[in-house]
Amino acid sequence: MIMKEFLNKYIFIRANTLNKIMIHKCALVTSITETHVSILDDFDNSPYFYRISDVIEIKLSNKTPGVNFGGDHE
């Protein structure tokens, strides 16, 4: 999985952490290392960190940054 292309872009990401699926529909990729990806979720403005091996899906987000998604956030 090529991750560097997502650096400084808004993404949709789904990750499996401790058998819990985490979904971020509009998150800015702030850092990528060999083992981890760091994001800033636009919904709650909180940072999250995931092991690349835990990422199930990652793609560019089709949501508009800065828009609150209300109850649509998972």
CATH number of the domain where residue 45 is located: 2.30.30
pTM: 0.84
Terminal-to-terminal C-alpha distance of the chain = 24
- Per-residue tens of pLDDT for the chain, all 74 residues: 678 999 999 999 999 999 999 999 999 999 999 999 999 999 999 999 999 999 999 999 999 888 765 544 44
Q: Is 48 helix (H, G, I), strand (E, B) or coil?
A: strand
Which range marks the domain in which residue 14 is found? 4-64
Residue type for position 1: M
Does residue 58 sit within a domain? yes
What's the domain count of the chain? 1
H helices of the chain, where?
Answer: none
* Backbone conformation region of residue 23, classed left if phi is above 0, alpha if psi is from -120 to 50, else beta: beta
Distance between CA 42 and CA 63 in Å, rounded? Answer: 10
